Amino acid sequence: MSKIIPFKAVRPTPDKVALVTCRNYDDYSPAELASWLDFNPYSFLHVINPAYVHSQKITLDKRFKGVAHKYQDFKNDGIFLEDEKAAFFLYEIQTKSQSFTGIVAGTSIDDYKNNVIKKHEDTLQYRVELFKDYLHQTGFNTEPVLITYPDKSEINNWISEKKKEQPIYHFATTNKEKHTLWKVDSDSEITWLEKQFENIPELYIADGHHRSASAELLFDEDNHLGNQNLNYFMSFLIAESNVKIYEFNRIIRDLNGNSKEEFILKLSEHFIIKTKEQELWKPQGKFEFGMYLDGAFYALFYKVNDNDNIKKQNSILSNLDAQVLYDKVLQPILGIEDLRNDERIEYIPGKQSILTIKELVDEGEFEVGFMLFPSDISEIKALADNNLIMPPKSTYIEPKFRSGLMVYEL
């Protein structure tokens, strides 16, 4: 049984919402960030980067306090307003190629602790503690955890009908996306939606493992203060059929002392290799890998056999394409042990063109690039159900929530 609750959101006024909201802070290059901050005084980037007007070199403690003060300035200036009544929200994101619609709600820390909300990624403790400190000192969060639920016709039909109503926001952004938000604040609809999720036994985190872990840590440390908002964290709940999962491709700086010929010979032990020359070849299915090396593309087909632990309990993990690449190539041939911290490897989201990989290798900074086939939701759920952890940078999942669209105060 899954528990969701409505909450009193703090939101931009409708006339400023397109100016306030922004992409994730890390998505901006330094030049792009500076440009937006200079051009747009309403951008939420001013809240999450308050050091910009002074100096980038300030302590984290001062930065977090600066975020809290700047957020309060936005409220005092009437840029943000707090809802008088707790509500759910329906949020639609339309990109050039796809439409995503989900429910914004508070999800339960108890459900997270009891594995009703399931995880498939590991977390880094220092990042969990850092974001926990951020939440503690700023007193708010505007980055919901992306959570999937099994498709339910009742919820799908309700969403279709709700989208016929007048939204509270409808705006476009400079990256050519359209964003629409509906408020769900009638008692009958709130009760109905809560009951729908009570009939869903399990939810799955798609994106936001560090954020949810930080919310749990903050609850453990501060729940004695009696703040009921700590019992929940803001989530964007979306039907599992409506998420888009991309791969993370890999580029490596050297061949670990191997010549091109030696490297390909070692690959041939576990892969059937076909030369594609200048064809921009991408994997078409599971156990297929693309490779770009020395000016040419290759197709690698994994030789699956009974010796690959297929029938063992960890077969779900060992048959994940990202794990196959690590087990058969990155670790034994290229000597990469730590996928998070080894400076010889970098990651390219699969939504970027493979020409990006070709250019980086051709420029000489990297020696070889690998293209993977994206995982699907069934693999993610199977890993979570068996308490298994994906290798780092296995998935890039959309949709991405707009920062500053909605604030959950703690």
Give the three-state DSSP class for 329: helix
Helices 187-198 + 153-162 axis angle, to 10: 150
- pLDDT tens digits in sequence order for the chain, 410 residues long: 899 999 999 999 999 999 999 998 888 888 888 889 999 999 999 999 876 554 556 788 888 999 999 999 999 999 999 999 999 999 999 999 899 999 999 999 999 999 999 999 989 899 999 999 999 999 999 999 999 999 999 999 999 999 999 999 999 999 899 999 999 999 999 999 999 999 999 999 999 999 999 999 999 999 888 889 999 999 999 999 999 999 999 999 999 999 999 999 999 999 999 999 999 999 999 999 999 999 999 999 999 874 554 444 458 888 899 999 999 999 999 999 999 889 999 999 999 999 999 999 999 999 999 999 999 999 999 999 999 999 988 999 999 999 999 999 99
Distances (CA, A) of 188 to 88, 108, 166, 191, 192: 12, 21, 18, 5, 6
Which residue ranges does the chain devote to CATH 3.90.1530.10?
4-242+398-409
Q: Which CATH code, of 2.40.160.20, 3.40.50.11540, 3.90.1530.10, 3.40.920.10, is assigned to 4-242+398-409?
A: 3.90.1530.10
pTM of the model: 0.92
CATH assignment, 247-374: 3.30.1760
